[in-house]
Amino acid sequence: MSNNNALAARVRGTVHVIGAGLLGASVGLGLRERGVDVTLEDQSPTTVALAADYGAGRLRTAQDPEPALVVVATPPDVTADVIERALTTYPNAVVTDVASVKLAPYLELLRRGLDLKNYVGSHPMAGRERGGAIMARADLFVARPWVICRDHETPAEALALVEDVALDLGATPLEMTPEEHDRSVGLVSHLPQVVSSLLAARLIPASEQAVGLAGAGLRDTTRIASSDPELWVQILGANRAPVVELLDAFGKDLASFADALRDPEQTGAKRRIADLLSSGNRGVARIPGKHGSSERFTSIMVLIDDTPGQLGRLLTELGELGINMEDLRLEHSPGAQIGFAEIAVLPEVAERAVTDLVERGWRTL
Ligand SMILES: NC(=O)C1=CN([C@@H]2O[C@H](COP(=O)(O)OP(=O)(O)OC[C@H]3O[C@@H](n4cnc5c(N)ncnc54)[C@H](O)[C@@H]3O)[C@@H](O)[C@H]2O)C=CC1
Ligand SMILES: O=C(O)C(=O)Cc1ccc(O)cc1
């Protein structure tokens, strides 16, 4: 695989991360790999020491000059406070945050009458079910969208600096208003979280025998049910209007489905069931990375650096490993330095294929 150190960072100057948990330490690890100077701060001395030990950056000293950029990676309910403190402490730095909601902190900062020319909110669409520095990964943001919410006062240089961080971390920056962002993540992240959690909660009273029959379908639909309830109470509370609207619509679909199924012999009931199920087919086909994958095969997503020869090497190594590739699809986001190779293999060899590829240094999703 190509070495990230070989790629020069776009970001110039020191990046100061406040909140050295999953997101903050992942930003630190990724930027350190590119040789960027990263300083760390956290209300927990243990967390900051842990993140530094993992190589996510160093502690700030009194001699350090003002950072070029501050990344606020604290829980949503204190994000506005921490942004305000960062803007005051480092008046010449650009300040961004990575909170999962964008409108509530922005409105709160406006309400406080702060000068927001140096603040550019953002949100990397990448995470894990568990927080903490110990869960951090340098490649967390690779090939993921990174939403940036500028406003009409944002100077071009401030926007460019936040975009550079996203690009240095392998993400694809894209601009949205805070309202567009919150409506979009309500649909693609917050509604799935609630549905997955409530679905998984149905398992609590079930017998061992019943739960023992669970397969990939249940695992796929409940993966994010292991998420941190404390973080999600904050995220959902801060984006309640779009999420409640989505839950109401979802509840209507559920009720309509149950009505049709209660009496499938009534005229039109079977069609209603089929229509709802086939809407699901059309919806799932819209998820990037899920197009065209055959039901017969298991897809493995392999990250490919955008450098010559990478794909050829992957195909050669698959041959060496004796893994038969049934299909191949390439996906490349404009602006990203990374692409995906979606390899279809027989389900029975999928697990071994992933293990062998990871052992050889490939990154899989
Ligand atoms: N967990 C996820 O999958 C994702 C989370 N986010 C957002 O990233 C932010 C951070 O989330 P995680 O890294 O998952 O949480 P985390 O719990 O792993 O890390 C948060 C850190 O902030 C520190 N902290 C809390 N209040 C502080 C304060 N006032 N000053 C300094 N440090 C403080 C905590 O001690 C903790 O170490 C949240 O706003 C979340 O919405 C964004 C994308 C994905
Ligand atoms: O793992 C997933 O599918 C996620 O959706 C993770 C995630 C959680 C919270 C965010 O604000 C952004 C991404």
Residue 342 has pLDDT above 70, yes or no: yes
CATH of 183-284, one of 1.10.3660.10, 3.40.50.150, 3.40.50.300, 3.30.450.20: 1.10.3660.10
- pLDDT category at 330 given cuts 50, 70, 90 is confident
Architecture of domain 298-364: 2-Layer Sandwich (3.30)
Q: Whose CA is nearest to atom 28 of ligand 1?
A: 43
Residue 1 has pLDDT above 50, yes or no: no
Instruction: For ligand 1, pick from 23, 123, 185 the residue to mutate: most ligand atoms within 8 Å of CB.
Output: 23
- pLDDT category at 292 given cuts 50, 70, 90 is very low
pLDDT digits (tens, 9 = 90+) for 67-102: 999 999 999 999 999 999 999 999 999 999 999 999
Whether ligand 1 lies within 6 angstroms of the CB of 82 is answered as yes
> What is the ipTM metric for this complex?
0.98
Name residue 66's amino acid. Answer: E
Instruction: For ligand 2, pick from 22, 125, 230 the residue to mutate: most ligand atoms within 8 Å of CB.
Output: 125
Atom of ligand 1 nearest to the CA of 133: 18
Angle at 324 between CA 289 and CA 214, to 5 degrees: 60
CA–CA separation, 87 and 277 (whole Å): 50
Whether ligand 1 lies within 6 angstroms of the CB of 75 is answered as yes
| Residue 18: strand pairing partners | 41, 72
- Give me ligand 2 centre to Cα 125, in Å: 6
- Give me ligand 2 centre to Cα 258, in Å: 30
Residue 34: its pLDDT value, please?
96
Residue 171: its pLDDT value, please?
96
Mean pLDDT on 30-46: 98
Q: Is the Cβ–Cβ distance between 284 and 328 less than 8 Å?
A: no
Q: Whose CA is nearest to atom 2 of ligand 2?
A: 127
Instruction: Tell me the pLDDT of the chain averaged across its residues.
Output: 93
Mean pLDDT on 188-195: 98
Fold of the 11-176 domain: Rossmann fold (3.40.50)
Mean pLDDT on 127-133: 94
Residue 261 has pLDDT above 50, yes or no: yes
Mean pLDDT on 200-220: 96
pTM of the model: 0.84
Which ligand has the shortest distance to the CA of 188?
A: 2
To the nearest whole percent, how much of the chain has pLDDT over 90? 81
Structural domain boundaries of the chain? 11-176, 183-284, 298-364
Angle between helices 191-201 and 240-262 (to 10 degrees): 50
- pLDDT category at 332 given cuts 50, 70, 90 is low
